[in-house]
Structure 1
Amino acid sequence: MRATPTAIPDVLVIEPKVFGDARGFFFESFNQSAFDDAIGKHVDFVQDNHSRSAKGVLRGLHYQIQQPQGKLVRAVRGAVFDVAVDIRRSSPTFGKWVGVELSEENHKQLWVPPGFAHGFLVLSESAEFLYKTTDYYAPAHERSIAWNDPDVAIAWPVTDTPTLSQKDQQAAMLKQAELFE
């Protein structure tokens, strides 16, 4: 497994070793020891989540203000544009974002540590998305930042307004959001 820092060094692209031939492919999608070595510390995961979404659906930008979650995410079917936004006020990259295409073809994963808002846009006809989290889902502590906040200025690869949940339609702008210190 290889971990490559993004423009925000705490957010890492994780690439497993993929073995393929005419029959198909095999790779270890998660190995605790290899993951810990790749990111340089031990992280405990407590929950796995799986979502399926249609083309043009945008989920996020979500985070939990208490019980913050680190997330190891990947697309197992289709393709998504995955985004992490640094919402730690004390960070030198506060308000900055990184985006990576994750797909069933490239097998890439993204490590999004606690302190970041996270979201993704479905690029393919549909996508199935898996993520491991370092803390449990806590709806009372869930917050959202608007996908189109001009202060964050994410370059989403869209031509039309994406399909959003009601919760995401009502998301706060970064200036008004409850954030991490």
Structure 2
Amino acid sequence: MRLALAIGLAATAFAAGLYFGRGEHPAFTPEPPAEAVRQLLQLQLPTADGKPQALAQWSGQVRVINYWATWCPPCREEMPEFSRLQQELGSKGVQFIGIALDSADSVQEFAAKQPTAYPLLIATPEAVGNLKNLGNSRGGLPFTLVLDRQGQARHVRLGGLNGAELAAILQPLL
């Protein structure tokens, strides 16, 4: 049952990622309820090598939380720009966090070929279950939340983001 659910979610996310990631149909979603963001920020998610990471460790920073998967072309396309922005804006209090809807093995293999300048965590059932509450009613990828220093959602996007667009979103939050 759990495998069937995971396969169904993956297929839906893949299809939505292809559709929305092309850039022709960006989907800005309404600001998620504060409770959904609070639940997300209380999570502890493992790295690909199994080390738990509390999302709360980045409190006080502007956080860019990106749900992605190794099999999602638009997700992979935006990651180099996200890494560049992490390196450029990290000293100004910006922290990117990748949450993979994927297996730890796939994320490790991906990271070996395309290193990122930010942590890549593995989604737990709680992280996946909270997606709809965060504004991703379609279950598509990539899905990105930008949180201000107080942990409030300032931008939510289903579909790919380019570096210039994201930099403009982040600038007022610095």
TM category (shorter chain) comes to under 0.3
Structure (1 or 2) with the greater helix fraction: 2
Structure index of larger Rg: 1
Q: Which has the higher contact order (CA 8 A, sep 6+)?
A: 2
Higher relative strand content: 1
Q: Normalized against structure 2, the TM-score is what?
A: 0.26
- TM-score by structure 1 length? 0.25
